[in-house]
A and B are shown apart, each in its own frame.
Chain A
Amino acid sequence: MADLGMAETAKEQYLEAFARLQKETPARRRSWTLGLRRDALARFAEIGFPTSRQEEWRKTSVLPILRVPFRPEPDFTANGFTPEAIGRYTFEPWECTHLVFINGHYAGKLSRLRPLPEGVVIEPLSAALEKRRDEIEPHLGRHAGIDRHPFAALNTAFMQDGVFVRIPDGVAIDEPIHLLFITVSPDGPVVSYPRNLIVAGRGSRAALVESYIGPRHDLYFTDAVTEIAAGEDAAIDHYKLQRESGRAFHVARVQADLGRYARLASWNISLGGELARNDTHALLGADGGEVRLDGLYITGGSQHVDHHTLIDHASPHCASHELYKGVLDDRSRGVFDGTIIVRPDAQKSDAHQTNRNLLVSEEALVDTTPRLQILADDVKCTHAATIGQIDEDAMFYLRTRAISQETARNLLIQAFVSEVLHGMRIEPLRAGLECLLFTRLRKGHGAGVEP
């Protein structure tokens, strides 16, 4: 029961950290969010950190996270970052709004804001919380399921900053919104709690990109939550690009609730982190909604990357299409666990899930679990999961065409992942990512960014 002891000790430390923050930060005590934070903390105290005895966490142990005494950074510091340095992480020339956060805090001077259509709000959550309480309170913490998910509860108790996006009815934002979360830990292990909320009005349209990066060898922990409320006929594209340090821990939850005929397209790209866990959930809560969940994980070294997805067909005539692909090298481990629920009333649901894995070393491992709970009878649901190795016939064929063994291997890996990348609708991001993968394949695996 050493695990339980560790989980209990760690929990106490987080509870103490909360009390300390309350004492030291008068602004927190005055905010209307105090109640929300306290409730979330109380819930976290009840459920505690997950153990591998829980089905949801059977393949991923969070003990490595609990062993490190992480501390949140109390105030903003630029940590030496300049606008020029930021340019390396924004896929230039990519003209769009870039909001930069360092160790959980908004970095106004490093951010680039662009003119927005009438009525659109894109603000750091910290600034919006007080002045837009009436718009935020009905949503914040209402979608993420903080009563069931310990890391979402923890994030809610400690949430620092992120973005609040509100798009009025009928408005389309043509340029993507890029959120860049940078974490560095020059003075000891840092934890940050990014929190984003997107409220999309009827018939609105927007694309949001979350990037998480950190220097190659820094030890830190990111606990992120994004809530998306998409109104009737709204269309949201969501990209998450995880390029954390190779020593970092990353736990993130994205919850999207879709209205009638609303559409969500999600690309979840996971390259970094020693231990990363992504939960991506979509609730098709009204007629005619459409979800596309695409994901890609490329791991090496001793990385452990876990993706849990849940698509909840709670209403009739909704469609979901899911494609997750993984390339695993060295001793790395991947987990894919995809649940599709089709509720009794959700007739005419159309759900397709595919998970494909490519193991490029002898020791790499992947667990893939499709879970289909179909409670309606007039539905179309399919799933497929594969785990394979590089096709030796294709390798030989390419080599007889004068292509070297190493190039042939990289080419086949690139071809394997291209199916996910080609669907991306932001060209600078897609091209930048392709280039990133190419470089990484050529140099061998390594997570995080060059310091």
Chain B
Amino acid sequence: MTPMLRIRDLHARAGEKDILRGIDLEVKTGEVHAIMGPNGSGKSTLANVLAGRETVTVTQGDVLYRGRDLLVMSPEERAWEGVFLAFQYPVEIPGVSTMYLLKAGLNAIRRHRGLPDLDAIDFLAMIKEKMKLVEIDQSFLNRAVNEGFSGGEKKRNEILQMAVLDPALSVLDETDSGLDIDALRVVANGVNALRSQHRSMLVITHYQRLLNYIVPDRVHVLSGGRIVRSGGKDLALDLEKKGYSWIEQESAADRAGARPVA
């Protein structure tokens, strides 16, 4: 079976700086993989490459999404095809309501699939269901996207959007950052409710604590722009105990003198 995502020898740079230095990764349909790594290891760059951010340039390698070349697609084409990125720092957009954003996005995807637009009533019924997942109330919908939202509200809004757009591949970029334990639990419950045998997820995080709630099938450790170790969910616990320096020292030794990225 064609994997959901297949990354081969991916090199990418942001500005003048090489960030990703040869990533290989395969995620099968229905699997949840965690990408862990210290600051500056390239986690967010990887997320941005997958979502199509233009400030990141791929210099080598390729990314296949359901067997198709992902890198030639625009960000919106990727979204139409079922790729979703939950932002580490969701953007505030004054003057655009959350309701409008969700409806416009969903209907764009439906049109791409040859389906008619959802009318206001069906949309509202659907969204009410989805809002329960992340425990937010309806007043949320009329507020401008992320404007004046607390950190927790922003992250819940990301998961709500994921629930509405119903992607096949979700990339969650440090969804746990800035959350207290209660908000983390709500967000994680939302994510878990969206786990399915048809959907794959790439959960990017600095800390192991998120993985207590979202238990991954595989864990990869990113360091210096490469995946330096992969394993089962227990790898996250080892990291928690020993810290990133443990892996970094090992991998630095492996690379025999290659300089890790600051």
- Which residues of A come within 8 Å of B, CB atoms? 391, 393-394, 396-405, 407-408, 411-412, 414-416, 418-419
One digit per residue, 1 when the CB lies within 8 angstroms of any chain A CB and 0 when it does not, for chain B 7-41 equals 00000000000000000000000000000000000
Q: Tell me the chain B residues, 53-98 only, with Cβ under 8 Å from chain A.
A: 53-54, 74-76, 78-80, 84-85, 87, 90-91, 93-96
CA distance in complex: A399, B78 (Å) = 9
Taking the complex as formed, is B126 at the interface, i.e. its CB lies under 8 A from any CB of chain A?
no
Chain A residues contacting B106 (CB-CB under 8 Å) are 402
- Which residues of B come within 8 Å of A, CB atoms? 51-54, 74-76, 78-80, 84-85, 87, 90-91, 93-96, 100-102, 104-106, 108-109, 112, 144, 161, 165
Chain B residues contacting A393 (CB-CB under 8 Å) are 91
Closest B residue to A407 by beta carbon equals B104
CA distance in complex: A77, B84 (Å) = 61
Chain B residues contacting A405 (CB-CB under 8 Å) are 74, 76
Q: State whether A394 touches B91 (Cβ < 8 A).
A: yes
CA distance in complex: A407, B96 (Å) = 12
Chain A residues contacting B101 (CB-CB under 8 Å) are 398, 401, 403
Q: Contact partner of A398 among B52, B74, B93, B165, CB < 8 A?
A: B93
Chain B residues contacting A419 (CB-CB under 8 Å) are 95
CA distance in complex: A419, B102 (Å) = 21
CA distance in complex: A177, B25 (Å) = 68
A-B contact pairs, 15 of them (CB 8 A): A394-B91, A394-B93, A396-B53, A397-B90, A397-B91, A398-B96, A400-B85, A402-B76, A402-B105, A402-B109, A403-B104, A404-B108, A405-B76, A411-B104, A416-B95
- Give the shortest distance, in Å, between A327 (CB) and chain B (any CB): 13
Chain B residues contacting A401 (CB-CB under 8 Å) are 79, 101-102, 104-105, 161, 165
CA distance in complex: A405, B96 (Å) = 15
Assuming the contacts A401-B161, A401-B165, asked whether A396 and B94 have C-beta atoms less than 8 A apart, the reply is no
Chain B residues contacting A397 (CB-CB under 8 Å) are 87, 90-91, 93
CA distance in complex: A443, B106 (Å) = 24
CA distance in complex: A416, B96 (Å) = 9
Q: State whether A418 touches B75 (Cβ < 8 A).
A: no
Question: Which residue among B76, B84, B105, B165 has the maximum number of chain A CB atoms within 10 Å of its CB?
Answer: B76
Apart from the given pairs A402-B80, A415-B93, A415-B94, 15 other A-B contacts in the complex at a CB distance below 8 Å? A394-B93, A396-B51, A396-B53, A398-B93, A398-B101, A400-B52, A401-B101, A401-B102, A401-B104, A402-B79, A403-B76, A403-B105, A407-B104, A411-B104, A414-B95
- Give the shortest distance, in Å, between A413 (CB) and chain B (any CB): 10
Q: State whether B90 touches A404 (Cβ < 8 A).
A: no
